[in-house]
Structure 1
Amino acid sequence: MVNYYQLFMKSIYLILAMLMACAMGNAQENPLPKIHIRNFTDDLKKTDTTAHAIVLFEHGRTELQYVEGDEQLMIVHVKHVRIKILDKEGFDEANVKLRLYKSGNEEEYIKELKGRTLNYENGQVQETEMKREAVFNEKASQYANELKFTLPNIKENSIIEYSYRLYSPFIRNFRTWYFQSNLPKLHSEYVAVIPATFDYNVSMKGYYGLTEQKDEILREHFLYGGNRQDCSKLIYIMKDIPAFKDEGFMLAPINYISSINFELRSYTRPAGGVTNFAKTWANIDEELMADKDFGGQIKNKGAFKELLPTMVDSATTNLAKAKNIYYYIQDHIAWNEVGGKYAEKGIKKALAEKKGNIADINLALVAAMNAADIEAYPVIFSHRTTGIPGLLYPVLTDFNGVLCMVKIDGKDYLLDASVNMLPFGELSLESINYKGRVIYSKGKSDWVDLVNTTPSKNIYNVLAVLDSTGKITGTLRIQSTGLKALAKRNTIDEYPSLEEYEEKLMENSGNFRIKKSKVDNLNNLEKSLFEELTFEIDLRDNFNDLRYVLNPMIYNRITKNPFTLEQRNYPVDLGAEESELYNFNFTLPNGYVLKDKPKDISMTLPEQAAKYTFKSAIEGNNLMIQQQISMNKAIYTSDEYFFLKELYARIIQQQQKDFQFAKQ
C-alpha cells in the first residue's frame, strides 16, 4: 500500500533541499580577507607618498543568471571593496557613485548594498554600519541613473568597506573590470564565470600586466532553458598597482587604465542554433543606412529643396558652395549639447526649432551637401573624453557622435557644424580621437584619421616703451589660428557682447593693466583672429637711478611645467601641431648700459620633434627679443615624455632670467 504522507514529506524535503542548494549557490561569501590590526598600524604612505587613500583589497565576480523576477537572462555582478583612508584629503573616497545604465525599458539595478566603516580606537576595532538614509538614487541622464551613498564616521586611518550586487540586462558587454584607478591598490581580483555556450571576446588594456591568471571548470553550474551546462571560471589577479595619474594633453583615461574587457560574439540557444552578435562592418553599414534616424536623414534631400538657393548663395565652385552650406547649418541649428550617432529630432524639426543634437546637425550637413550635388558622407566617431573605438572588432556602441566628410577636387574635408566658431575643414579638440568610420552609401565603410592639418598657433608682437620712472606702455597684438583661435573665439563668445568681454579683460588684467582692447575677425572664421591690447606695467620696484632689471616676458610667461609625472605610460596628445612666437621690441630709457643678459639659446628634441629658441639684440636704445616654442608633432610617445618635461623645465628657467642695466 502506498504511503502518500511519506511521499508528500519526501517531496517537501526534496524541494527544501533544492531551494537550500540554490540559495547556497547564489549566496556570495565575503571574499575580503579578515581584518588585522596591521591594516590600521602599517604605514601605507610609503606605497605612494602622494596618495590620500589606498585600496587594500577588491574583488569582483560576474556571471550570467536567469532571473525569475525579470523573466530574462541577466548579467549579475558582485563587488566587494576595502579602502583605507590615509588622511583628511582622502575623506571623499567615502562618497561613492555607481553609474547604472538604461536603454528603453531595460535598465540596471542594484540589490544587497552594504557598507561599513572600521576605526581602531583604544585597542579595539569599532564598526559603524551604513544606514539606508545614506543611499540616494538620482537620474544622471536619459541613458543612466546614479546610485550615491556615503560611508559613516570617517576619520584619518578609517577603513571603509562596501559591497553590492548589480543586475544588468545588457549581456553583450559582460562587465569591464578596472584593475587601475585614481587610487593605488594592493590587491585587485576579478572572477568571470562564462557558460560553455557563450563565446566572448576577452581583451586586456593598459600598461600593467596581470600578476596571476587561473581558470577552472564549474560542472553543470549554469541553468538555462531547463538544461545545466558547464562554465569556465576565469580568475584574474593584479597586485601592487600604482594609481593612474592623469595629466593634460591626453585622450580619455579609459584608453590607458589597466582593465579587462568582454564582448559577446555568439551564443548557442537552448533549443539549438547559434546567435551571432559579432557583426561585420558590412552588417553595421547596412544597419545604419537602413535606420530612419541615420540613413533616412541622409537621404532626405527634399528638406533643402527650397532652402538650397539661399544656402548656396552666389557661390559657383563646389568648394565655395560647400563652405556656404556649412556656415548656414552652423548658424541655423544650435547644438543642444547632446551627442549620439542617431538624429534626435530629425532634419526638418531641427531646422524649424533651430536646435538639435550632433547627429541632427551633421546628418543635415551631409544631406544638404548631397542635395547640392557635392559628394558627402557621414563619419561616426567617439568623442575624445569617452575612449577610442575598438579597431579589432566592430562595436557600434563604441561610437557616440557623427561628423561629415566632403570630397571636393580630390581632397577630403572633415566638418563639424555642431561646434560654434569652428572654421570649415577643421575639427575641435573634442572630435580629435584617433579614427572615425566613414559610412559610404554604396560601398564598404572605412577608417579615416581624425586630425587637424591647420597648426595651432599664437604670434605675440609687443611694441613697448620703458620710461625713466619704471613704467612700460605699449601695444600687444596677438594673432591666433587653429585650435588656439577656436579657444579664444569660444571664450569671447561666452560673453553677451564684445564690449563686456573687453571690460572683463581689463578688470582682470592685474599688473599687466589693459587700457584698451580691440578684436578683429571674430566672426570671419576663414581668417586668423587678431586681438590688440594697449597696456601699461609698473616696474618701479625693479628700477632706480643707478640700475634696473627687465624681464621681457611681460605676457603669458610659463611658470609651471605642464609635465610633472615621474613616468607617463601614455602619449602626449596635443590635438594638432602647435607653436608660439614672441616678438618683443622695447625702447629703453637713456643713460643706462647693459650689464648682463640671458644667453641666446636653442634646444631641439631628437628628430626635430620640438624646438625652443631665445635670442636678443640691442641697437641703440632698442631691445629686440624673439622667442619661439615649436611643437612639431600632434602626438608624442611616452618615450619622448622625459625630453618634453626637460624642455619645458629649461624654458621656465630661461624665462625667469632678467636683463640688467646700470647707469652710465
Structure 2
Amino acid sequence: MKSKFLLTVFTAFIVVCSSNAQDFRLGKVSLQELKEKVHPNDSSAVAAVLFEKAENKVVFNQETGFEIELRVKARIKIYKKGGYDWANKAVRYYLVNSSREKVSFSDVATYNLVDGKIEKTKLKSDGEFDEVINKYWGQKKIVLPNVKEGSVIEYEYVLHSPSIGNPRDWYFQLDIPVNYSEYINSIPEYFVYNTNLKGFISPKVTVEKLNKSIRIDSKERVTAPGFGTTRTNFSSEDIAYSETRTTYLVENMPAIKEESFVNNIRNYTTSLEQELSMTQFPNSVPKKYSTNWDAVVKTIYEYEDFGPELNKTGYFEEDLKQILQGLNSVEEKIAAVFTFVKTKVKWNGYHGYSCEEGVRKAYKTGVGNVADINLMLTAMLRFSELNANPVLLSTRSNGISFFPNRTAFNYVISAVETDQGLVLMDATEKYSVPNVLPLRDLNWFGRLIRKDGSSEEVNLIPKVNSKELATVNLDMDDKGVINGKVRLYHANHEALRFRQNHIVTNKDSYLEALENKNNNIEINDYVRENDLDLSKPIIENYTFKDTKTVEIINNKIYVSPMIFFSLKENPFKQEVREYPVDFGYPIQEKYSVNIKIPEGYEVESLPKSMTVDGGENIGMYKFLIGYNNGVVQIVSTSDIYAPIVTPEHYPILKDFFQKSIEKQNEKIILKKI
C-alpha cells in the first residue's frame, strides 16, 4: 500500500515538473517546442503564444522625471501558414513634442529544427522598419526571418513613455491560444491608478510591497567668500519610497473566438486597462485626475484643441447667414447647417476628439478630422441660436471603457437639445441625416458636454426602427418558372447602409451580385429612387425570372413562401453564448408576397400562420398566410426591438430565429386539379 502511494506521489511530481519545464528565458527554445506539430488544447490553432511576459514600471529619469518603461518578452510557435502573420510585430508610439515615446527591439530571432538540430536565424537590419502612421503616431515594426511551419520566434521590446497617465492596455487573451501570460505592474507610492480587468477569465493576482529608493543628483554654482571665484558643488540624495508590485498571471488561455453579431470582441477579451487617478508627492497637495466623468470631460474641454477651437468665430458667419436666410423652425435650421458642413468639409479619415488642422484651416481647405468637422458643426448650430453641444464617444472599433478616463473617448459628434429630445449628428458621414449616425458611432453611450461644464450620459442607440420592406408579386407557371416584380424600401439606418455600400458601385456589378445572392435569378428593368435625396428612403424596383426555386415532384409543385428572400440557416449556432449579440440598431424586416398559382393547379397544403414572441428583450415575428382566388398571400414581419441582446437571453434569441427560419422555409404544396 505504501509503495503504491509513493508511486502516485512520484508520478504527480513528474507531471508537475513536466508542466513547468518550459524555460521562460529568451534564447532557450527547446527541441520539444520545435517538434510540436499542433497545439495540445486546440488542434485548429495556426499559432500559439508559448509565453509572454511584461513588466510595466514607473521609473525615475534624472533629466525628465518619472516615466513609464514597458518591457515585453515573447515566444510564439507557428503551426500553420495561416499563422505567419504572428511573425510580424508592430508597436506604435506617440510622436508629438515632449510626449514623444521611444520603442526598441532586441533579441529577435527565428528558430527551426534542421536535421534534428536547432537552427537560429537572427533579425537583420532590413527586417526592422520605422513607419509614420499619421501626425500623431508612428510604429516600430519587425518581420521575422526564415519563418516556416513549425518555427518558434522570439523577441523583446521596450517602450519608454513620458506620459505616465495611460499605460498600454494588456491583453492576456488573443485569437490564438496563450500558454502563459504574465504582467507585472510596479508603481511607486506617489501614483494611484484606476485599474479594470475585463473578460470572462480572471487572472491570478498577487500583490507585494517593496522598499525602494531613487537617487537624485544635483549641482550648484557657488562663489567662494572673499575671493570672488566660483565652483560647482555636486550632491546626491537618496529618497526612500514604497513600491506596490502587482503580478497578473494566466495559463492555458484559450483563443478568443469570433461570434456573429459581436460589436468589438476586445470588449470581452481578458485584458487589463489602467489610467492615472491621483498623484501625491511628499510635502504637496494630492492632485486628482480622472476621478469621475465630470472631471474627465472638464479636462478634455479645456484642451487647447477642443474647447478653444469650439469657441472660435469669424470664419463662417457671413456664409452661414446666407444659408439660414428665411429659415425659422428648429428642424429647418438643423437640416440646413448639417448639410452645409457635410458639403463644405470632407473627412480625412482620422478619428479623435482633438482638432488636427483647427476649425479655421479645415473650413478654408475643405478637409479635416472628426473634431475639426463636428466642433465646427456645433459652433455653427450655436450661431444659429440652437442649443448645441459636443458629445464625446468611443467608436465600436475603439471598444468600451468601464471606468472614467480620458482615453475612453476617441470621437466627437454634435447634439442639439430640443423639446422632443436630443438630435444627434455626425457630419463626417455624407449620407447621414440627423439622428441617423453611422454604425461606427453606435457604441452604447456617449457624454454630452455643456458650456457650463456640466455633462450627462447620452444613449447612442437609435429610438426609431430602421426598416427594410418588400412587396413581391409572383406569377408561376406549370413548369415552375417564376416571373416576379419586386419593390424594396430601405429606411433610416438601412438606407444609410445601402447608400454607403452601393451608391458608388457600378450598376452592372451590383445587379450581378444581387442575382447571385438571390439564387441566380435574372433581373431586368432595375430602377432606383432617391439615391441622393437623403430625406427619403431608398427604393428599388425590378422584375426578375427565377427557374431554380420551385421543385416539381410527381406532378406536385413545392415552393417556399418567401422564395429566395428567406434565411436558410440560423446565424446563431452555439449552444452557449459568451458575448452580447449586437445588431447595431432596432430593425423591422417585412415582406409582403403574393404568389399567383398556375392554371390547372390548386393548393394541397399551406404552412400555418404563426407568431413567435421573443419579449421586449428580443422582438416579435409574425407569419400570416392565406389563399384567395388563385393567389397565395404571405406577410412575414420580423421586429428586433433590442439592438443588444445579453447572453442570458441568447437561448430565447436562438429559438426565435430558428422558429422563424423553419417557418419561412416550409413548403407550399400545389397539386393538379
TM more than 0.5: yes
Query: Which residue does the alignment assign to 2:612?
Result: 603
Query: Which residue does the alignment assign to 1:340?
Result: 352
**1:484 Cα deviation after fit:** 0.9
Query: Which residue does the alignment assign to 1:134?
Result: 127
Computed over aligned residues only, the root mean square deviation of the Cα atoms, in angstroms, reads: 2.9
Does residue 488 in structure 1 map to residue 498 in structure 2? yes
Amino acid paired to 1:485:
A
Aligned match of 1:104 in 94, 97, 110? 97
Does residue 385 in structure 1 map to residue 390 in structure 2? no
**1:580 Cα deviation after fit:** 0.9
CA deviation digits over 1:371-414, x for unaligned, max 9?
Answer: 12111111121212112244x43x22322221111122352212
8 A Cα contact 2:476 2:597, kept in partner: yes
Query: Which residue does the alignment assign to 2:238?
Result: 227
**1:288 Cα deviation after fit:** 4.7
**1:105 Cα deviation after fit:** 5.0
* Uncovered stretches (5+) of structure 2, i.e. residues with no partner: 1-22, 218-236
**1:174 Cα deviation after fit:** 2.7
Q: Map 1:172-571 onto structure 2 (within 5 A).
A: 172-210=165-203, 212-220=204-212, 222-223=214-215, 226-228=237-239, 229-269=241-281, 274-278=286-290, 284-291=296-303, 293-390=305-402, 392-393=403-404, 395-409=405-419, 411-495=421-505, 500-501=506-507, 503-508=508-513, 509-510=515-516, 511-539=520-548, 542-543=551-552, 546-571=555-580
**1:164 Cα deviation after fit:** 1.9
Bigger drift between 606-615 and 322-331 goes to 606-615
Cα distance in 1, alignment partners of residues 247 and 91 from structure 2: 24
**1:237 Cα deviation after fit:** 0.8
Cα distance in 2, alignment partners of residues 162 and 565 from structure 1: 37
Q: Aligned with 1:605: secondary structure?
A: strand
Aligned match of 2:161 in 164, 168, 175? 168
8 A Cα contact 1:54 1:83, kept in partner: yes
Amino acid paired to 1:355:
V
Query: Which residue does the alignment assign to 1:20?
Result: none
**1:590 Cα deviation after fit:** 0.9
Amino acid paired to 1:372:
S
Query: Which residue does the alignment assign to 1:12?
Result: none
CA deviation digits over 1:190-212, x for unaligned, max 9?
Answer: 111112222222221222112x2
1:540/1:438 CA distance change after superposition, 3 Å: closer
**1:598 Cα deviation after fit:** 4.0
**1:466 Cα deviation after fit:** 1.5
CA deviation digits over 1:5-44, x for unaligned, max 9?
Answer: xxxxxxxxxxxxxxxxxxxxxxxx9646965554355675
Cα distance in 2, alignment partners of residues 197 and 224 from structure 1: 16
Query: Which residue does the alignment assign to 1:577?
Result: 586
**1:545 Cα deviation after fit:** 9.0
**1:180 Cα deviation after fit:** 1.0
1:598/1:89 CA distance change after superposition, 3 Å: farther
1:94/1:559 CA distance change after superposition, 3 Å: farther
Amino acid paired to 2:209:
I
Cα distance in 2, alignment partners of residues 625 and 312 from structure 1: 48
Cα distance in 2, alignment partners of residues 623 and 199 from structure 1: 70
Cα distance in 2, alignment partners of residues 655 and 299 from structure 1: 56
Q: Map 1:585-596 onto structure 2 (within 5 A).
A: 585-596=594-605
Q: Aligned with 1:319: secondary structure?
A: helix
Bigger drift between 353-362 and 475-484 goes to 353-362
1:34/1:472 CA distance change after superposition, 3 Å: same
8 A Cα contact 2:612 2:660, kept in partner: no
**1:301 Cα deviation after fit:** 4.8
Amino acid paired to 1:54:
A
Amino acid paired to 1:538:
T
Cα distance in 1, alignment partners of residues 123 and 358 from structure 2: 47
TM-score, length-scaled by structure 2: 0.85
**1:289 Cα deviation after fit:** 4.7
**1:559 Cα deviation after fit:** 3.6
Cα distance in 1, alignment partners of residues 148 and 319 from structure 2: 65
Cα distance in 1, alignment partners of residues 289 and 104 from structure 2: 29
Cα distance in 1, alignment partners of residues 564 and 548 from structure 2: 14
1:566/1:48 CA distance change after superposition, 3 Å: farther
Query: Which residue does the alignment assign to 2:147?
Result: 154
Query: Which residue does the alignment assign to 1:636?
Result: 645
8 A Cα contact 1:469 1:540, kept in partner: no
1:421/1:581 CA distance change after superposition, 3 Å: same
Does residue 52 in structure 1 map to residue 40 in structure 2? no
Amino acid paired to 1:379:
V
Bigger drift between 313-322 and 369-378 goes to 313-322
Percent identity between matched residues is 29
Amino acid paired to 1:55:
V
Aligned match of 1:660 in 651, 664, 669? 669
Cα distance in 1, alignment partners of residues 214 and 24 from structure 2: 21
Query: Which residue does the alignment assign to 1:95?
Result: 88
Q: Aligned with 2:95: secondary structure?
A: strand
8 A Cα contact 1:224 1:270, kept in partner: no
1:137/1:167 CA distance change after superposition, 3 Å: same
1:141/1:519 CA distance change after superposition, 3 Å: same
8 A Cα contact 2:129 2:140, kept in partner: yes
1:303/1:155 CA distance change after superposition, 3 Å: closer
Cα distance in 1, alignment partners of residues 320 and 59 from structure 2: 55
Q: Aligned with 1:47: secondary structure?
A: coil
8 A Cα contact 2:484 2:543, kept in partner: yes
* Uncovered stretches (5+) of structure 1, i.e. residues with no partner: 1-28
Aligned match of 1:145 in 127, 138, 148? 138
